Amino acid sequence: MRLISSFVIKKTKAKKDGSCPIYIRVTLNQKRMELSSGIFISPNDWNEVAQKIDPGIEGAKVYNNRLTKMTTNIYDLYNQLVSLGKPFDIHTIKKRYLGISEVPGLLKIFDYYLHTMETNLGKGYAFETLKHYRVSRSKLAEFMSEQLSCKDMPVNVINYDFLNRFDMYLKSTYGIHQNTAWNYHKHLRRVLNLAISMDHIRKNPYSKFKVKLEEAHRDFLTKDELARIETKAIDLERLSIVRDIFVFACYTGLAYADIAKLNKEHLQTRNDGNLWIIIKRTKTKSICHIPLFPNAMHILNKYADYPETLLKGRVLPVSSNQRLNSYLKELADICDIKKNLTMHMARHTFATTVTLSNGVPIETVSKLLGHRSLKVTQIYARVLESKISEDMMVLKTKLGM
């Protein structure tokens, strides 16, 4: 694969004064391209054999140096491409010379990432995760369009300033919390890591732009609030079912996605003679081993022959997460609960009120919740006022006070 170059006078593009532009003609694998040097001269001042402008012409030395540099730059680009060991053609050289990026856009790589997730749904990726990434992609596209007036940007130009402006855009336009912004950045960071793996960039700009995750307040129900919900007389079947599913989550720590898929195969009698839930978490794919409390067992028995559970092959008649959370707001009103009741709050209640507050070691709670890291569980490790009072009473007894 040999590169051949020469200069030609373009008489077809002559100016009114008769001067013509000098073009460099480059041939590679019988494919040819031409690039203008930006130099105009009279055809009579051009030495075709020497491929130079006549030395006697004013400015000839400067012009000839420019032509030599042009040839050198093209051959340098050619040698660089050869050294990379990847396929290229004459058009690749032309684009490199003109500074036209061949690096794909950030959104194009994001779309590739989304396609990978869509292809592997249920095989390492959950649909809820895909939905969150789609939202992040949408916000990123909006930012580029509104703030940068472009549809996409080459991934190799993404830098600290881009990330900082995106961060400010998210917070000023949507008024989102720092931790919500952190999630958008987490998605973008992973897309940029993919760009590194694809050899489009060498370093992730997030190595310089740091996004802090603030300590979140995980709301939960107190023992009294949980009891109030459990014992509330509810005549409306719709709300009664929602209450039961919520309470079941409070005593198992299962997330909505796991309760929704819970079937009889997940219920197993272990060596201790008790019934356990053995299930792979939808989010983390980690296996949870959860012994069933009598409260949770009672709810399962209540719906054992329920038509909807029999029809769907599930153990509980679970509707959509959105609908459940909507009904939970009604439940909170009739139970005089002033907190924003959600299915995820049930998981927080299990971790805090049901287990940790009753002396269950945090390592055990971490296993029950299916966390991969103890650091995640430590978010819930808050000491309640009632527990402090109880511990102090024990201490007083020991001290004889």
- What's the CATH code of the domain at 119? 1.10.150
Residue 102 confidence (pLDDT): 67
Residue 388 confidence (pLDDT): 59
Looking at the domain assignment, is residue 218 inside a domain?
no
Same domain, 327 and 180: no
Same domain, 248 and 337: yes
Same domain, 10 and 93: yes
Residue 305 confidence (pLDDT): 86
Same domain, 268 and 325: yes
- Residue 317 belongs to what domain range? 223-393
Looking at the domain assignment, is residue 278 inside a domain?
yes
Q: Of 101, 190, 201, which is closest to residue 158 (Cα–Cα)?
A: 201
* Pairing mode, strands 52-53 and 267-269: unpaired
Looking at the domain assignment, is residue 237 inside a domain?
yes
Task: List phi, psi (to 5°) of 276.
Answer: -120, 155
Same domain, 231 and 369: yes
Q: How many domains does the chain have?
A: 3
Mean pLDDT, consecutive 10-residue stretches, the chain (401 aa), reads 90 92 93 92 93 91 94 90 81 81 86 94 81 96 90 88 94 89 95 93 92 76 94 93 95 92 91 89 83 92 84 86 91 93 91 86 85 74 57 71 59
Q: Tens digits of per-residue pLDDT, 204-249?
A: 999 999 988 776 667 899 999 999 999 999 999 999 999 999 999 9
Residue 128 confidence (pLDDT): 81
Residue 209 confidence (pLDDT): 94
Question: Looking at 156, 175, 207, which one is the last position of a domain?
Answer: 207
Same domain, 324 and 282: yes
Looking at the domain assignment, is residue 69 inside a domain?
yes
Between CA 226 and CA 246 the distance in angstroms is 10
Residue 101 confidence (pLDDT): 60
Same domain, 254 and 354: yes
Looking at the domain assignment, is residue 140 inside a domain?
yes
Looking at the domain assignment, is residue 398 inside a domain?
no
Residue 216 confidence (pLDDT): 62
Overall pTM surpassing 0.75 (yes/no): no
Looking at the domain assignment, is residue 129 inside a domain?
yes
Same domain, 389 and 250: yes
Same domain, 274 and 367: yes
Same domain, 80 and 174: no
Looking at the domain assignment, is residue 214 inside a domain?
no
Question: Looking at 152, 180, 207, which one is the last position of a domain?
Answer: 207
Residue 44 confidence (pLDDT): 93
Between CA 195 and CA 190 the distance in angstroms is 9
Q: Of 83, 93, 64, 67, which is closest to residue 3 (Cα–Cα)?
A: 93
Between CA 145 and CA 107 the distance in angstroms is 12
Question: Looking at 77, 98, 119, which one is the last position of a domain?
Answer: 98
Same domain, 377 and 256: yes
Q: What CATH number should be reported for the domain holding residue 379?
A: 1.10.443.10
Same domain, 160 and 272: no
Residue 20 confidence (pLDDT): 94
Residue 330 confidence (pLDDT): 94
